[in-house]
Amino acid sequence: MTGSHDFYGVIAPVLTPFDEQGNPDTARFVAHAKWLLADGCTGLAPFGTTGEANSLGVEERIGLLDALINGGIDPKLLMPGTGLCALSDTVAVTKHAVERGCGGVMTLPPFYYKAVSDDGLFAYFADFIERVGNDRLRVYLYHIPPVAHVGFSVELVGRLIKAYPETVVGLKDSSGDWDNTKALLDAYPGFTIFPGSEIFLLDGMRNGAAGCITATGNVNARMIRNVYDNWETDQADALQAEITAVRQTIQERPMIPMLKAIVAHYLNDPQWARVRPPFLPLGAGEAEAGIAELSEQFGFELKAA
Amino acid sequence: MTGSHDFYGVIAPVLTPFDEQGNPDTARFVAHAKWLLADGCTGLAPFGTTGEANSLGVEERIGLLDALINGGIDPKLLMPGTGLCALSDTVAVTKHAVERGCGGVMTLPPFYYKAVSDDGLFAYFADFIERVGNDRLRVYLYHIPPVAHVGFSVELVGRLIKAYPETVVGLKDSSGDWDNTKALLDAYPGFTIFPGSEIFLLDGMRNGAAGCITATGNVNARMIRNVYDNWETDQADALQAEITAVRQTIQERPMIPMLKAIVAHYLNDPQWARVRPPFLPLGAGEAEAGIAELSEQFGFELKAA
């Protein structure tokens, strides 16, 4: 861990539960977020890819963020996803997050138009930062090319850091490509970098990462946190191997429906299995097979707070 | 042209001008839309890919749509793009368009999450149509896989037509793949299909298409309309060859900045060349070279209304 940053450790991109009408279920959302902090998360990234955030509208994000903070969660622990397709929507959600005191925001590049240039993306972020116009803004770049198909080159990250050293303070690398994460860690010591999966947690820590921001933090934060807390000990490699194996078992099935099925199972709350289209819930048999595998192989269970 | 539909002919996805602060320039937008109708367009599709709509927020789209209608354009001629990433934002913009009397809406599939299933996309459109909850809703599916990376299979189109025959009435095919357009035309006679480029206009008309919805309609509507009006005459192939050649010359350069540069040039209004990041304007030399080529090769010019 190098440099100074407000976020570190194990951060979960909070799952978004939906009610019977398919609208966000605020009460379950806030309860889950609180449980995640009790279970070992050191911060929360609501409205990430895992949170089905790109199926949530501007007003829905603002309403859910308010619910977390009004529900008693320290906004300094929150790094909400605020990167929508359009500059103006991105600015609206970000302004709200900064005004509510969030520790940072995690921001996608504009992702509809493809094959755009680094110059164009730089211009977008320059415009974004100027329009938000708040010294308290802390941006964590969200690099997830397998989904967004638009990402941040190592060079573009450097240009943004140089131009906005107080504002562009970190990056989540969900490329799934350790070589890319390593290149960023080597190029920008002091910049706060989170691999987007706990599979890279130990390698990351040994190379200056700040922790990880990971989907499976929604169900396995305690074990992942244990690796983070013990990364300099003799146990580290064995602990890492175990969380890697759990992750690989979970991701054998579609990640978001599987995570929700796990929560639904252990809370005995079938509503948690709902997803918003274009996702579909797993078949009951499929989910239960995965949960049985986790339980048998790893003694995995999710304990309600 | 088969079946009954409200939209036909040459429809332009209206370019969106921006002011010095990078905000949509309402006055220029309305003036351009009116000029397009005077220049031969039979309908307008504001907020398409060409209109940089995916760089426009929810409130910006609503404001610009109101400006067109309040400015005197018949809403029945308008097929605004209303497909945002998130169901709730898509519903909000669509409801507004229907309430304002728009003849239809052009709707992208949810395009952030990739590799989603036809069942998931069907569920999305079912939810969308139910939430809009208005018998006057007319949806034109917007198929543009080269950009959106999520599209409509021929089978999914059939399922949607069957489930919502009064609502899902058409499709714009911007796949750039004539085989796909032909497969749709053959599979669903009576369904209103627009190729997304005038290159396929004559082939389309000969196979039951309703016309075309094309970016270059912003600068070349009159010539394209002439092909539409004369597609059954002996001149048709020669006229088609000419609009194809003009299109190919325009698309040698990045399409959206090039179209804006053409408008800026002929209106002698440099502000028109502005684009919103992540796009960047063409260099002055690059744009002028393209405009000179169009003028010399085709006697092309754009006449202000």
Judged by phi (left if over 0) then psi (alpha if -120 to 50, else beta), residue B135 lies in: alpha
- What's the average model confidence in pLDDT over B47-71? 97
Burial B81-97 (b: 16+ CB within 10 A, else e): bbbbbbbbbbbbbbbbb
B1 pLDDT more than 70: no
| Nearest chain A CA: its distance from B305 CA (Å) | 31
Tell me what pLDDT residue B121 has.
98
Which chain B residue shows the shortest CA-CA distance from A58? B89
B58 touches chain A (CB under 8 A): yes
Residues of B in contact with A148 (CB under 8 A): 112
Rounded distance between C-alpha atoms, residue B209 and residue B186, angstroms: 10
- What's the average model confidence in pLDDT over A273-281? 96
- What's the average model confidence in pLDDT over A6-25? 96
A55 pLDDT more than 70: yes
Tell me what pLDDT residue B284 has.
79
Rounded distance between C-alpha atoms, residue A228 and residue A238, angstroms: 13
Environment class of A169 (CB within 10 Å of its CB; exposed 0-12, middle 13-18, buried 19+)? buried
Contacts of A8 (CB under 8 A, 6+ apart): A1, A42, A43, A192, A210, A211
A301 pLDDT more than 90: no
Q: Where does the pLDDT of residue A283 fall: very low under 50, low under 70, confident under 90, or very high at 90 and above?
A: confident
Rounded distance between C-alpha atoms, residue B253 and residue B66, angstroms: 32
What is the average pLDDT score of chain A?
95
Interface test with A, best of B49, B52, B88, B147 (most A CBs within 10 A): B88
Tell me what pLDDT residue B301 has.
87
Interface test with A, best of B112, B128, B150 (most A CBs within 10 A): B112
B5 pLDDT more than 50: no
The residue ranges of every structural domain in chain B are: 9-298
- Choose the catalytic residue: A16, A26, A42, A49: A49
Rounded distance between C-alpha atoms, residue A94 and residue A131, angstroms: 10
A277 touches chain B (CB under 8 A): yes
B253 touches chain A (CB under 8 A): no
Portion of chain A with pLDDT greater than 70, in percent: 98
Rounded distance between C-alpha atoms, residue B220 and residue B247, angstroms: 9
- Cβ of A278 within 8 Å of Cβ of B86? The answer is no
- In this prediction the pTM is 0.95
Portion of chain B with pLDDT greater than 70, in percent: 98
- Asked if A50 is an active-site residue, the reply is no
Residues of A in contact with B283 (CB under 8 A): none
Tell me what pLDDT residue A302 has.
85
- Cβ of A123 within 8 Å of Cβ of B85? The answer is no
| pLDDT tens figures, B171-217 | 999 999 999 999 999 999 999 999 999 999 999 999 999 999 999 99
Which chain A residue shows the shortest CA-CA distance from B24? A88
Location of structure tokens 């209103």:
B192
- Choose the catalytic residue: A16, A82, A107, A172: A172
A140 pLDDT more than 70: yes
| Nearest chain A CA: its distance from B55 CA (Å) | 4
Q: Where does the pLDDT of residue A304 fall: very low under 50, low under 70, confident under 90, or very high at 90 and above?
A: low
- Choose the catalytic residue: A140, A142, A188, A228: A142
Q: How many CB pairs under 8 A join A and B?
A: 130
Which active-site residues of B does the annotation give?
Answer: 49, 112, 142, 172
Which chain B residue shows the shortest CA-CA distance from A282? B120
- Cβ of A87 within 8 Å of Cβ of B55? The answer is yes
B304 pLDDT more than 90: no
Note which residues in 93-132 of chain B have CB less than 8 A from chain A.
109-114, 116-117, 119-121, 123-124, 126-127
Rounded distance between C-alpha atoms, residue B27 and residue B3, angstroms: 37
B22 touches chain A (CB under 8 A): yes
Q: In sequence order, what are the beta bridge partners of B192?
A: B170
| pLDDT tens figures, B283-302 | 879 999 999 999 999 998 88
Rounded distance between C-alpha atoms, residue B72 and residue B70, angstroms: 5
| pLDDT tens figures, A198-227 | 999 999 999 999 999 999 999 999 999 999
Q: Where does the pLDDT of residue A149 fall: very low under 50, low under 70, confident under 90, or very high at 90 and above?
A: very high
- What's the average model confidence in pLDDT over A257-268? 96
Interface test with A, best of B20, B95, B113, B125 (most A CBs within 10 A): B113
Contact A168, A125 (CB under 8 A): yes
B2 pLDDT more than 60: no
- Cβ of B54 within 8 Å of Cβ of A127? The answer is no
- Cβ of B278 within 8 Å of Cβ of A58? The answer is no
Contact B305, B38 (CB under 8 A): yes
- Pick from A86, A114, A278: CB nearest B147: A114
What is the average pLDDT score of chain B?
95
Q: How many residues belong to chain B?
A: 305
According to the 3-state scheme, what is the secondary structure of A17-40?
A: CECCCCCECHHHHHHHHHHHHHCC
SS3 for A197? coil
Environment class of B70 (CB within 10 Å of its CB; exposed 0-12, middle 13-18, buried 19+)? exposed
Domain B9-298: CATH architecture, name and number where available: Alpha-Beta Barrel (3.20)
- Pick from A92, A113, A147: CB nearest B113: A147
Tell me what pLDDT residue A58 has.
94
A3 pLDDT more than 70: no
- Pick from A54, A60, A277: CB nearest B120: A277
